[in-house]
Structures are given as structure tokens and as C-alpha cells.
Amino acid sequence: MDQTAPLPVPSAPVAEPVAPVATVPINAPSPREQLSRQIAAGQAGNAGDGSILSQLKSNPFFTAGFGLAGIGACVAFAQRGLRRGASLLRRRLLVDVEISRNDESYQWFLHWMSQYQKQQLAATAAQAAAAAQGEKPRVLTSLIQRFTPGLHHLSIQTKNVVHPNGSLHTYFSLIPGPGRHVLRYKNTFIAVDRARDTKSFAHDKGSPWETVTLTTLYSDRHVFEELFAEAHKLAMQLQEGKTVMYTAWGTEWRQFGYPRRKRPLESVILDQGVKERVVEDVKDFMASEKWYFDRGIPYRRGYLLHGPPGTGKSSFIQALAGELDYSIALVNLSERGLTDDRLNHLLTNIPPRTLVLLEDVDAAFSNRRIQSDEDGYRGANVTFSGLLNALDGVASAEERIVFLTTNHVDRLDEALVRPGRVDMTVRLGEATRYQISQLWDRFYGEVEGSEEAKSRFLQQMESLGLIEDEQGHGRQGDYRPSTASLQGLFLYNKGNMEGAIAMAPGLLPGWSSEESDIPSRSHAAMQPARSAV
């Protein structure tokens, strides 16, 4: 009997375990309700402790607000600490220099800064031109010039100069404007802040108040002395060989126009020995400061120059200022609104190394109308006693040289010309034989045959009765020409000695060209001008 193996019975598949499915109750509370229940449970748990502190601690809104306030306080404290730390570092590491507008170095620095910027631009242009020609610039120099900042805020400064012939010339210059600038001076970076306060104005000028603040590292503070020394040197170079004129503007002195070229002392021809005597006296006074102080004498000196118009009074003062390297401060006593107090203030605060010039003092107090008339005119407010006190009063300044000029010395009060106010009186009269000879040499000294022509010109003047003879005997006529009229004659005949000799009769008053055989261009041309030298 065949025995067959039993057929295998298939086993039932084993069921994998199934993860339990979470059942959500139908009445499950929302998150807001859960938060409300937690708050209520906390209140119930603390029902036995009813202190306010416990309730505040258990309040999540309060704890969250307190945390935010604490963070804000910490941030504010940190900000204050950073500010104070930065201020401390600034005081330790930086140094500031402030220049106000009233200081004399204010304009010096602005002018120097603009010129210094021009030099840097010129150096950059030269380097670019060299690079274009194939020259390789140094890497360090190129980087320094690349990172050197320039001026981006500029202001324009305009000056109008009226010349004696009436022509008006306008000059423009660019200076650093209000704002922040950065410059590099001797490898030191300097921050420049030119601030303008539009709410405050200078009472004497009516312009906004301005300051310039320079900031650099404390270790580089020595550059300020070098910078201002260079700015002062540049300002003096602009005035070198020139005479600065000042005029009164309110209660201060302001420069009048551009500095004028110094007039040589030799160009003013005075009578023999007069010029030398005045110059020697002024120089002796300037060297005698200690002598005056030791004896308790006020250190000031006054000079009175008088004489007919055109004799060189103002010209001599201008030439003397150039000889002494002094400036000139002009005072117009007939100016409307000039009071005694203002005049005293001006004469007390004179710019250093400056001569004071009061021209035509005889006309300042003659025929004056003090109170307003029907025509609305009001004369100057300076009184004669105010002038006397300003010149030699208790509050008058020392270290001062004053020059007064007049055409009529007989009109001056004795109190004005007494010693102490006027220490030296000099008369500059009409042209003498010596002056005419010196003027001729100055105009025609380089022309051939000048000596022979000069002799004929002097003989012509002598025959006309205008000068004395060689022995010094008196003239035949009563009229004598001024040096201004002679200068006008020589200027009209530049390089023409024969023309000057022929036109000598034109110096006589009332002379007409029809009385001479000289060919006339016009009657006005034959009359040399008699204006002041």
C-alpha cells in the first residue's frame, strides 16, 4: 500500500499589530478655553493665599510685560553706556580746535584750505599726466591720493574794487562752504566742520554766526600749529610788498579793497631834508617804547601835515607806510552817524602796525549843521571835544601813530594842535627848485641829454617867475606851481623833454595856448592837471 505523505495544510496569515487610533471626544475644549481653565485652576489652587504679589506672579500677562520692561531698561542703559564710552574715547583719542568768525585766522584758514585743495588737485593731474606717458606711479602714493577726499561744499566770495578812474573790477574766489569736510595734511586726516547758526547774527555785520571746528587724533595735535603757521604765511604773502587800507565799518575796521602795491618813498619828492626828518622821527619813536614807559609818558605820537592842495601830503603818508611796512586806517570825521563813542572805540582798537590817517580835519567842523533841518540834512555827530578826547584823553589808546592833514592850518583850533595831540607839524609847500630838479631826473633821467634839457627847463621856469634862481633869490611872480601840476606836465610828455619845456608856460594860472606859438591839441591838454599827488 502506497503510503503518501500528507499534504501540507496552509497556515493562516499572521495579523500585524494595528496602532490604536486616538479618539477625540466630541466635546473637546478649544485652546482658548484650555487657557481659561488653567488660569482658573491656578486661582483655585491659590485660593488659600490671597496676596496681591502671588496673584501678580501667577499672572502670565504681567510677567511678560515686566520682562519686556526689563529688556527695554537694559537696552537704554546699554545705549547710555555706549554714548558715555564713546565720549570718553573721543576725549582721550581726539582733539578739537574751534575758530570763530571774529578771529583773524578764520579767513586765513578758509583761504589756505581752498589753496591747499588746488595743490592736491594739481598733484593728482600731474600724476595722471605722468601715467599717460607710461610712467608707473608708486602704489602707496596712488592709494593715498585715491583715498584723499576733496571739497564738495563750496561757497563763492566776491569782491568789487573801484579804481581811481571809475572802472569796476570784480574778483571771485571759491572757499569751503558750510558743512563737513575731510582733508589730509602731512599724512594726517583732519575733519573740518564749518557750522552756520542761522538763529544768531553778528551785531556789527548782520551776517549769520559761523564757526570752524577742526578734529584729528590726539597724537597728531601738533599738526594744528604747523597748519596755522602755514596759513598765516600764505596770508602774509598775499600782502607782501603791498599796503593794506582799512576803513571804519560800524564799530570795527575792515579791509578796503585789495592790498595796494607799496609806493616807494623815493617817488614822493619833498623839499630838501623834509622827508628824511619825518622818517627819522617816526623810526625813533618806534624804537623808544621803553623810554616812554619808564617815564610814564603815553606812548603815542601825532603829526600834522599842512599845505596847499597837491603838495603830496597823502602820498607821503602812503609811501611812509610802505617804508615802515605798516597799514593805513582811514577815518572820515564827516561820516554821518559817527559818534564820539564810536570814534573813541575805533581809535582804541586799531589793527596792529597801522597808521591812522585823518584827512582834511579843518573841513570836519566847519559850517556844520548839527540838528536836522527842513531839507532833512543831519551833520556828523562827532563833536570837537570828542575828537580831542579820542586823540589825547584818559581813555585814549597808546602805541598809536596818528597823521592829520589840512589845507588850511589857520582854521584849526589851538587845542587840537597842542603838544600831546600833535607832536610834529610839517608844512609841505609849493614846488621848489630842488623838487623840480628831482622830479625831472625821475621822469627823464634815463633819456640821453637829460641834464642839458633840465637846465633849459629850469631857466624857463625861472624866467616865468615860478622858481628862485640858483643862488636862492626870490621869484618875480607870486604864484608857485605844486608838485602835482608838475607831475601832470611830465606825465603828459612822457619821454618828450622838448614838449615839457615848451609847455612850461601852461603852469601859470590863467594861461591860454593862444598866447604861445606851441601847437595845441586842445586848451584842456595844455593845462596840466593840478590834482593831488
Distance (Å, whole) CA 355 – CA 323: 12
Residue 417 clears pLDDT 50, i.e. is over it:
yes
Considering only residues 29 and 253, tell me which one the structure prediction assigns the higher pLDDT. Answer: 253
Residue 14 lies in a domain: no
What are the residues facing 253 on neighbouring strands?
A: 248
Residue 81 clears pLDDT 90, i.e. is over it:
no
Region 315-320 average pLDDT: 94
Predicted confidence band at 302 (pLDDT cuts at 50, 70, 90)? very high
Quick one: pLDDT at residue 163? 57
Classify residue 500 by its DSSP letter.
Answer: H
Do 284 and 402 lie in one domain? The reply is: yes
Question: Taking a C-beta distance cutoff of 8 angstroms, is the pair 242, 261 a contact?
Answer: yes
Task: Give the pairing type, strands 245-249 and 242-243.
Answer: unpaired
Closest by CA position to 403, among listed 312, 270, 531 = 312
> Which CATH number belongs to the domain containing residue 365 in this structure?
3.40.50.300
Length of the chain: 533
Residue 25 lies in a domain: no
Lowest-confidence pick of 132-136, 244-248, 326-330, 507-511: 132-136
Long-range contacts of 384-388 (CB under 8 A, 24+ apart): 384/413, 384/416, 385/340, 386/339, 386/340, 386/343, 386/344, 387/333, 387/340, 387/343, 387/361, 387/416, 388/415, 388/416, 388/421
Do 302 and 442 lie in one domain? The reply is: no
Quick one: pLDDT at residue 404? 94
Classify residue 504 by its DSSP letter.
Answer: G
Lowest-confidence pick of 169-178, 181-190, 417-426, 506-515: 506-515
Predicted confidence band at 403 (pLDDT cuts at 50, 70, 90)? very high
Region 515-531 average pLDDT: 40
Number of domains in the chain: 3
Long-range contacts of 203-207 (CB under 8 A, 24+ apart): 204/249, 204/250, 204/251, 204/252, 205/249, 205/250, 207/101
Region 86-94 average pLDDT: 73
Closest by CA position to 438, among listed 454, 416, 418 = 454
Predicted confidence band at 376 (pLDDT cuts at 50, 70, 90)? low
Quick one: pLDDT at residue 112? 86
> Last residue of some domain: 240, 272, 297?
240
Residue 45 clears pLDDT 60, i.e. is over it:
no
Residue 23 lies in a domain: no
Largest interatomic CA distance in the chain: 197
Quick one: pLDDT at residue 195? 85
Quick: pLDDT tens for 477-498.
678 888 999 999 999 998 899 9
Do 197 and 135 lie in one domain? The reply is: yes
Quick one: pLDDT at residue 480? 83
Residue 78 lies in a domain: no
Region 84-108 average pLDDT: 80
Lowest-confidence pick of 148-152, 216-220, 303-307: 148-152
Do 190 and 272 lie in one domain? The reply is: no
Quick one: pLDDT at residue 521? 38
Angle (CA) 462 468 472, round 5°: 140
Considering only residues 325 and 134, tell me which one the structure prediction assigns the higher pLDDT. Answer: 325
Residue 167 lies in a domain: yes
CB neighbour class for 25 (10 Å; exposed up to 12, middle 13-18, buried from 19): exposed
Region 379-389 average pLDDT: 80
Residue 474 has a CB neighbour count (10 Å cut-off) of 8
Residue 279 clears pLDDT 70, i.e. is over it:
yes
The separation between CA 233 and the C-alpha centre of its own chain, rounded to angstroms, equals 14
Q: CA distances (Å), 184 to each of 140, 216, 218, 267, 326, in order? A: 15, 10, 15, 47, 35
Lowest-confidence pick of 8-12, 209-213, 258-262, 306-310: 8-12
Do 383 and 465 lie in one domain? The reply is: no
Quick one: pLDDT at residue 523? 36
DSSP 3-state assignment of 209?
A: strand
Quick one: pLDDT at residue 282? 95
Quick one: pLDDT at residue 424? 94
CB neighbour class for 331 (10 Å; exposed up to 12, middle 13-18, buried from 19): buried
Identify the H or E element spanning 385.
helix 384-392
Do 423 and 408 lie in one domain? The reply is: yes
Distance (Å, whole) CA 94 – CA 500: 72
Quick: pLDDT tens for 196-233.
876 666 655 556 778 889 998 888 888 888 888 988 88
Identify the H or E element spanning 170.
strand 168-176
Q: What CA dihedral angle connects 125, 127, 130 and 135, to 10 degrees? A: -160
Distance (Å, whole) CA 382 – CA 392: 15
Quick one: pLDDT at residue 90? 67
Predicted confidence band at 283 (pLDDT cuts at 50, 70, 90)? very high
Do 299 and 165 lie in one domain? The reply is: no
Question: Taking a C-beta distance cutoff of 8 angstroms, is the pair 491, 465 a contact?
Answer: no
Residue 160 clears pLDDT 70, i.e. is over it:
no
Predicted confidence band at 167 (pLDDT cuts at 50, 70, 90)? low
Quick one: pLDDT at residue 329? 94
Do 302 and 197 lie in one domain? The reply is: no
Do 269 and 407 lie in one domain? The reply is: yes
Q: What are phi and psi of 143, to 5 degrees?
A: -65, -40
Task: Give the pairing type, strands 424-427 and 168-176.
Answer: unpaired
Quick one: pLDDT at residue 446? 86
Set of cell numbers at residue 370: 548839527
139-153, 177-191, 282-296, 446-460: which has the highest mean pLDDT? 282-296
Do 276 and 398 lie in one domain? The reply is: yes
Q: What are phi and psi of 352, to 5 degrees?
A: -65, 150
Quick one: pLDDT at residue 278? 95
Quick one: pLDDT at residue 27? 59
- H helices within 407-502, ranges in order? 433-444, 450-463, 483-492, 497-502
Angle between helices 105-132 and 223-239 (to 10 degrees): 90
Residue 216 lies in a domain: yes
Range of the domain at 146: 97-240
Considering only residues 202 and 11, tell me which one the structure prediction assigns the higher pLDDT. Answer: 202
Set of cell numbers at residue 274: 623834509
Lowest-confidence pick of 37-46, 93-102, 282-291, 428-437: 37-46
* 133 Cβ contact partners less than 8 Å away, ≥ 6 residues apart: none
Residue 466 lies in a domain: yes
Distance (Å, whole) CA 291 – CA 199: 50
Residue 44 lies in a domain: no
Residue % of the chain over a pLDDT of 90: 20
Do 171 and 283 lie in one domain? The reply is: no
Considering only residues 292 and 135, tell me which one the structure prediction assigns the higher pLDDT. Answer: 292
Do 172 and 289 lie in one domain? The reply is: no
Q: What are phi and psi of 10, to 5 degrees?
A: -65, 135
